[in-house]
Structure 1
Amino acid sequence: MTAPTRIRRMRTKGWSLAGAADLFRGGMIVDRSSRFGNPCTVASMAELGYVDPHAAAAANFRFWLAGSRSDAPTDEADRRRDRILSDLHLLRGKDLACTCRYDQACHGDELLRRANMPADELRQWITVVRARVDRQRIRAGEKPLHPEPQAVQR
């Protein structure tokens, strides 16, 4: 069986995820209309003057997902990242559909890479990302999203 892949979501009559994804693996839509969508838009990267706004948006997503708060230091962005991290396991083994062309960089490539990491490695990576975000939140004077469990007192 082949590895999960990114497929192009089409908005044309007759296109369906069931028809485009591998019959046995199934697929998930990860474009901006889904909970896995990239919060960084291609349009905003174009406005900032990037030569390749798709590549810039995909790179921004990769850094953001890994815990960077530099472009989005908000509670909403942190909670959105945490929801994606919590649901990455749902993407494991599935084809991912996004509207990006195959010749363009896409945040779906990063989702594919992370979701299909070995389960223990993925859990460890998520723990590191959450700790990274909490350290940045504390430095900014905010409450952490995942406070360390209190030590048991005897």
Structure 2
Amino acid sequence: MPNRIQRKRTTGWRKPDNCVIVSRPSRYGNPCKVGTMEEMGYVDPHAAAADYFATWLRGSRFGSPTDESDQRRERILTALPTLRGKDLACTCRPDQACHADVLLRWANLPEAELAERITWIRSRVDVQRVNDGDEPMYGGQS
């Protein structure tokens, strides 16, 4: 199973081979900021941010019911298969919860299970979009 690696900003640190950077500014970054969770009073803001990411990636529009958020989720879902078998690097310490753990689990699911999950998420997003008065992204409710 691939691993999560702590990305360092120190001189001389290099991303290992077969590793993808998934920290906040990347294509795979968590839209939920740890600092925001800290300001909200969470005892473990890293775990709260990772939990939010998992819920958001599963298709929840709660807290971010925007086209931009839905399109960002879709970019991540579409790219998940490219992360299969790769280590993921984020700035979170190894002892902290991190959205990269969610990405590792999902990207390394059996292909059919991942495809089924993505299809279900897209359906869920469309239902929520229609309920919110928005156009569906994927062709309608299922």
Confirm or deny a common fold (TM above 0.5). yes
Give 1:8's aligned amino acid: Q
Aligned counterpart, 1:104: 96
C-alpha separation in 2, matches of 1:143 and 1:33: 28
Indicate yes or no: 2:24 matched with 1:32: yes
Q: Sequence identity, in percent?
A: 59
Give 2:124's aligned amino acid: R
**Partner SS state of residue 96, structure 1:** strand
CA drift at 1:71: 1.3
Cα deviations by residue, 1:25-79 (Å, 9 ceiling, x for unpaired): x110000121000000001101111111000000000000000111111110000
Unaligned runs of 5+ in 1: 149-154
Indicate yes or no: 2:134 matched with 1:142: yes
Q: Which consecutive segments of 4 or more residues in structure 1 shift more than 3 A? A: none
CA drift at 1:7: 0.4
Aligned counterpart, 1:10: 8
Unaligned runs of 5+ in 2: none
C-alpha separation in 2, matches of 1:83 and 1:54: 23
Give 2:137's aligned amino acid: L
The 5 A counterparts of 1:60-139 are 60-139=52-131
Count of residues in correspondence between the two structures: 141
C-alpha separation in 2, matches of 1:130 and 1:11: 36
